[in-house]
Amino acid sequence: MSHFNRRQILAAGAATGAAAALGIKPSYAQADYPTRPVTIICPWGAGGGTDATARIIAAVLEKDLGQPFNVVNRTGGSGVVGHSAIATAQPDGYTLGIITVEIAMMHHQGLTQLTPRDYTPLALMNEDPPGIQVKADSPYKDVKQLSDAIKSNPPGTFKASGTGQGGIWHLALVGWLMAMGLKPDHVPWVPSNGAAPAMQDLAAGGVDIVTCSVPEAKAMIDAGKARSLAVMASKRNEAFPDVPTLQEVAGIDYSVGAWRGIAGPKGLPKEIATKLTAALKKVYDSQEFKDFMTSRGFGMVWGDAEQFAAFMDESDAKMGAAMKAAGLAKA
């Protein structure tokens, strides 16, 4: 028979209650993680590259960890709404998110106070350069013709889209314009909730140019509604060998890239974070993920939690400097 007396039992109960009040959970709860469905927040619209990447990651995680991983699109505010939802979620491992290069940019514009330091980085999964897309029946057959037309026409003649105001594809446009010796607003930007709606707007004639990754534009290109004239990269994308670089055709030396990774709110328990990073490495190495990314033409780049944190810090510094030079940063 147990020799615990009533006082010892009450003391043990009080200690457990105090631990619970302090948010201290028994280690077995973390060891068994996940024990219920997990939400992955996507700050961008359904059908875009970020959404597609989040869904394949969720599908493979679900198989490995044995619980549903549900992708929820939280769009708006040029990416602020979704990124805020990830950062402010309970740090219990049941709300994660796919964070994008915009988190290294938005605070420089004064759109939010959030920075990459407001998350628990788990894994970098992908990086892509932007392409320059036009409508299928555009009179411009290559990027040199388009560049020359932009330079020879007054500001505001052409309109472009691809993501939110001040997002990576907007910065790509600005960098291209500045590389041609033009002002960053020579081609006005029409904000959108990601590449998919921007490509629809392009096909409908609402804008003249979309700067987004070629994989994001692939559906409209395959449907015969758009053409990709060039990529802003040092080399061609192997998945789209017929799309030249900006340097090749127009002699403009400019390249930039968008990235995507998985993160949780700041303060995610180390045991859960470590388990998720290991699971994400399995996703990255899986044939299912490789086949999906290759079929979409998405660039695969791996970084563990520590590498992803350093990568984001570097991206934040680089984007801040670029946006300041372009006049997009808040003074």
HSE of 157, CA atoms in CB hemisphere, 13 A:
10
303 bridge partner residues: 124
How is residue 45 written in tokens?
Answer: 């619209």
Residue 15's pLDDT is: 45
Q: pLDDT, tens digit, for every residue of 99-111?
A: 999 999 999 989 9
Residue 331's pLDDT is: 60
Query: CA torsion 269→274→276→279, rounded to 10°?
Result: -160
**Mean pLDDT value across residues 261-278:** 98
Place of tokens 């892509």: 128
CA distances from 230 to 44, 87, 213, 234, 251 (A): 24, 35, 10, 11, 12
Q: Where are the alpha helices (H) located in 286-304, listed in sequence order?
A: 287-296
Q: Is residue 258 very low, low, confident or very high in pLDDT (cuts 50, 70, 90)?
A: confident
Place of tokens 């949780």: 264
pLDDT over threshold 90, residue 308: yes
pLDDT over threshold 80, residue 150: yes
Place of tokens 């699971």: 279
**Distance between CA atoms of residues 312 and 10, nearest Å:** 49
pLDDT over threshold 90, residue 41: yes
**Mean pLDDT value across residues 299-312:** 94
pLDDT over threshold 80, residue 12: no
Q: pLDDT, tens digit, for every residue of 155-212?
A: 999 999 999 887 889 989 998 998 999 998 999 999 998 899 999 999 999 999 999 9
**Distance between CA atoms of residues 46 and 65, nearest Å:** 24
Nearest residue to 173 via CA among 157, 158, 184: 184
**Distance between CA atoms of residues 173 and 2, nearest Å:** 74
Q: Say if strands 131-135 and 69-73 run parallel, antiparallel, or are unpaired.
A: unpaired
**Distance between CA atoms of residues 204 and 199, nearest Å:** 9
Q: pLDDT, tens digit, for every residue of 169-179?
A: 998 999 899 89
Q: Is residue 299 very low, low, confident or very high in pLDDT (cuts 50, 70, 90)?
A: confident
pLDDT over threshold 80, residue 27: no
pLDDT higher at 220 or 171: 220
**Mean pLDDT value across residues 249-254:** 92
pLDDT over threshold 50, residue 310: yes
Give the chain's domains with CATH numbers: 27-128+258-326 (3.40.190.150), 131-250 (3.40.190.10)
Nearest residue to 303 via CA among 115, 168, 129, 127: 127
How is residue 326 written in tokens?
Answer: 């372009």
pLDDT over threshold 60, residue 139: yes
Q: Kindly state the percentage of the chain with pLDDT values over 90.
A: 69
184 CB-near residues (< 8 Å, 6+ apart):
174, 177, 178, 326, 327, 328
**Distance between CA atoms of residues 211 and 216, nearest Å:** 10
Q: pLDDT, tens digit, for every residue of 46-67?
A: 988 899 999 999 999 999 999 9
Report CA torsion sign: 295, 296, 299, 302: negative
pLDDT over threshold 90, residue 14: no
Other C-beta atoms within 10 Å of 27: how many?
10
pLDDT higher at 120 or 23: 120
Instruction: Yes or no: say if 226 and 134 are a contact pair by the CB < 8 Å rule.
Output: yes
pLDDT over threshold 70, residue 29: no
Q: Kindly state the percentage of the chain with pLDDT values over 70.
A: 91
Residue 221's pLDDT is: 96
Residue 154's pLDDT is: 97
**Mean pLDDT value across residues 19-29:** 48
What is the pTM assigned to this prediction?
Answer: 0.72
Mean pLDDT of the chain: 89
pLDDT over threshold 70, residue 4: no
